[in-house]
Structure 1
Amino acid sequence: MSKPIIDPRIRLRHIVCFLEVAQRRSMAGAAEALNVSQPAATKTIQELEALLEGQLFDRTRRRLSLTTFGEVFLQYASTSLAALRQGINAARGVGEATVVRVGALPTVSARVLPEAVRAFSEKSTGAVTRIVTGPNGYLLSLLRTGDVDLVIGRMAEPNAMVGLAFEHLYSERVVLAVRPGHPVLQQPDFSLRMIEGYQTLMPTPDSVIRPLVERILLAQGVTQLRTEIETVSNAFGRSYVRQTDAIWIISEGVVANDLAEGQLAVLPVDTSETMGPVGFTTRIDTAPSLAATELMQAVRNVTRELRGEDD
């Protein structure tokens, strides 16, 4: 009798539950997403660990984190589920509209994507563009499971790029944006430490630019920030700094249009150390669809024009 390819005791529910917990770093969050009780989710993960004969999560901290064993399994589990989903969609998709699913970080959502999607929509025949926003870790997890076709934004840290490919489009820096007429803009001898007296809108801890921001603040001796507000919401950040004296530390692409229109201003800070690559992140094992390829080309065209403006 031949040995089964996969232990038949490992079910799809085990894999789905594992991926949800890995994505959310929370058993409670995964249980809510799956519409099951937390004990049921915990039991499912324990069953999977017993079948795999290895511990998938480090439970010593408040937020769950993957063990080395779990990280290896994640790569293959997410790829397998994505391939299965792709096969099901392909089998069912005869005669259905093509959907291009894009994970977009805030830095491209305001500056690049609108013009690229407009051009793509004019050229494409009936393709639907579905745009999902959120922090980088969340979008990469969707990419690994096949829930988005590509992610556009800053390149993630190398340890998060296993099984993924990156295509560089342009580079941008982090800026400190304020409302026009902000008191700090009137200071003749500005120093970064002056921001300590004002509320600061910071990128969330799981955002790509957070370590860069913390590094530059520490290097300039900024250690006593007033009440911080953590957000990746463009709409909230834009509205809040226009109405208050808060200082918004954000990727330049998010506020580029506001700066050009005079709705916001940038503090005179050298943030060249925060310059980083922005581009496409895709899966190595999956070729983009024809529609996704066309959208990617539209994005390339827009960023080519941006680079021309910067030169």
Structure 2
Amino acid sequence: MLENRIKYRHLQCFLEVARQGSVGRAADVLALTQPAVSKKLKELEEMLDVRLMERSKKGVELTQFGEVFLRYAGASVAALREGTNSIAQAQQRGQTQLTIGVLPTVATSVLPRAVQRFRQGGVDATLKLVSGPNKLLLSQLRVGELDLVVGRLAEPELMSGLSFQHLYSERVAFVVRPGHPLLRSRPLDLKDISAYTVLYPPKDSIIAASVERFLLAQGIGALPDRIETISDAFGKEYIRQTDAVWIISRGVVAREIATGEFTELALDTKETLGQVGLTTRADTLPSPALQLFMNAVRDSSGSADRTANHSISKTV
């Protein structure tokens, strides 16, 4: 039978090339040679009798058959990982590890409280928190390297095979240091931000599309001086030291806004509202430990819901 001829290494090579978009990078990750990876892909395509991938100047892209196979290959590898992990956990006398993908929007606003709640419950589990671009986290979730991703809802094309549970909605904020010259503008004209350095979400970040639509609707095209970054640590320090304007999910800076360390520009950004929640694989049920952690996140999201869209205070 066909499925008896397909080996784990075939699926592993296919999934890594799909994730990396490159045979070379996939070979580096897998510690194999490029010819070895290419051979496995060729064998897989011959067994399935379809083209799964096409090479182009941009790298390797999935065909329509590749897109279909990706979902099921990912589910198969994820199931295998869960099986081997369950054996390892049983050998460790009940010790469980949960690997959670965390986006910046919840890293400071929700996760610290959620982790405290979870640990207070006495669950015998080790938590591993992983951050990174949303697209990467979702690809890791799809193949079982992550158990859960907490953050904004991704674009529909990235949600194949995944399930999302809404917690609250959050908008984008434009933040500056206290005493920034823009705070003296009454009324504030959004186009005035073009005179300053703007910290801007990269194209692969989860808020990039909504920010771009919002700015275009306000008649703002390409900003002349912008720095693209997903680093909240860099953003916070750069705002403290300069007159830059930071466009960021409000949850990332909600605490600094509340304490007066940063000031939010008086702009109506409700058009940038996005859903924040829990993303899991659609083909598996959460383990008891993961379900308890998800419950802790739900319980901790109440205050984040209240601060995510708090009315903008009057600026002086």
* TM-score (structure 2 length as normaliser): 0.91
Query: 1: distance between equivalents of 2:48 and 2:261?
Result: 56
Shift of 1:11: 2.6
Q: Is the 8 A contact 1:180 1:262 kept in 2?
A: yes
Partner of 1:260: 258
**Equivalent residues in 2 for 1:97-246, closer than 5 Å:** 97-246=95-244
Kindly report the root-mean-square deviation, in angstroms, between the aligned alpha carbons of the 2 structures. 1.9
Secondary structure in structure 2 of the residue aligned to 1:59: strand
Secondary structure in structure 2 of the residue aligned to 1:225: coil
Q: Is the 8 A contact 1:101 1:130 kept in 2?
A: yes
Match of 2:53 among 46, 52, 57: 57
Q: Say yes or no: does 1:32 pair with 2:28.
A: yes
Query: 1: distance between equivalents of 2:242 and 2:304?
Result: 31
Note the alpha carbon deviations across 1:57-78, whole angstroms, 9 max, x for none: 3433414332221111110000
Query: 2: distance between equivalents of 1:249 and 1:52?
Result: 47
Match of 2:3 among 1, 6, 21: 6
Query: 2: distance between equivalents of 1:209 and 1:44?
Result: 37
Partner of 1:249: 247
Secondary structure in structure 1 of the residue aligned to 2:87: helix
Percent of matched pairs sharing the same residue = 49
Shift of 1:154: 0.8
Query: 2: distance between equivalents of 1:63 and 1:247?
Result: 35
Note the alpha carbon deviations across 1:117-152, whole angstroms, 9 max, x for none: 011112123311111111111111111111111111
Secondary structure in structure 2 of the residue aligned to 1:167: strand
Amino acid at match of 2:162: L
Shift of 1:96: 4.8
Amino acid at match of 1:197: A
Query: 2: distance between equivalents of 1:51 and 1:199?
Result: 54
Partner of 1:296: 294
* TM-score (structure 1 length as normaliser): 0.92
Q: Is the 8 A contact 1:165 1:281 kept in 2?
A: yes
Shift of 1:92: 2.3
Note the alpha carbon deviations across 1:223-251, whole angstroms, 9 max, x for none: 13123322211111111222222221111
Could you say if the C-alpha distance between residues 286 and 269 of structure 1 is closer, same or farther in structure 2, counting changes exceeding 3 Å? same
Query: 2: distance between equivalents of 1:297 and 1:140?
Result: 20
Partner of 1:18: 14
- Deviating more after overlay: 164-173 vs 47-56: 47-56
Amino acid at match of 2:58: R
**Equivalent residues in 2 for 1:269-280, closer than 5 Å:** 269-280=267-278
Shift of 1:256: 0.8
Query: 1: distance between equivalents of 2:238 and 2:301?
Result: 28
Amino acid at match of 1:6: E
Shift of 1:106: 0.9
Could you say if the C-alpha distance between residues 201 and 29 of structure 1 is closer, same or farther in structure 2, counting changes exceeding 3 Å? farther
Amino acid at match of 1:27: V
Q: Is the 8 A contact 1:180 1:265 kept in 2?
A: yes
Q: Which runs of 5+ in 1 are unaligned?
A: none
